[in-house]
């Protein structure tokens, strides 16, 4: 199941979502956006919030695909919405494996305090 993390874009103030998706295909053609930044269309596989397994297209900028991306690997993606509410997905070259969370380390600092306060610590 795909996990979505809500973030706020610091430049625009707009809500965006980060998620992992599996790279299924990389387009051959190099395209340019209005800012003349090069990108390719990629096909991603992931689960919608409803749980439905889907394949969707996304953009992958040259600054990302030039770092090397491989079909079959999972990559960090960013979902944003334009002024008309249309979704846009950008794929990064970063693989965002399950990252550590604060819950993974609950009690660590408490344990440290206990060890330090203990008379038997050398």
pTM for the model: 0.75
Number of H helices, E strands in the chain: 2, 7
Q: Token pair for residue 48? A: 């919608």
Confidence of residue 106 (pLDDT cuts 50, 70, 90): confident
Q: Which residue has the higher pLDDT, 97 or 59?
A: 59
* Bridge-based pairing state of the strands 74-81 and 38-47: unpaired
The full set of domains in the chain, from first to last, is: 5-117 (2.40.50.140)
Q: Which residues contact 66 (CB under 8 A, 6 or more apart)?
A: none
pLDDT digit string, tens, across residues 2-29 = 999 999 999 989 999 999 999 999 999 9
Say if CB 21 and CB 45 are below 8 A apart.
yes
Extended beta strands in 62-105, E state: 74-81, 87-91
């Amino acid at each position: 199941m795909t996990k979505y993390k809500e973030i706020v874009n610091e430049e625009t103030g707009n809500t965006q979502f980060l998620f992992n998706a599996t790279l299924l295909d990389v387009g051959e053609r190099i395209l340019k956006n209005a800012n003349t930044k090069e990108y390719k269309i990629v096909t991603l596989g992931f689960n919608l919030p409803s749980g439905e397994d889907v394949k969707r297209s996304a953009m992958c900028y040259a600054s990302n695909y030039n770092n090397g991306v491989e079909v079959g690997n999972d990559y960090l993606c960013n979902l944003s919405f334009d002024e008309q509410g249309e979704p846009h997905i950008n794929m990064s070259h970063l693989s965002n494996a399950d990252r550590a969370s604060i819950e993974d380390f609950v009690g660590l600092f408490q344990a440290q305090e206990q060890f330090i306060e203990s008379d038997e610590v050398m």
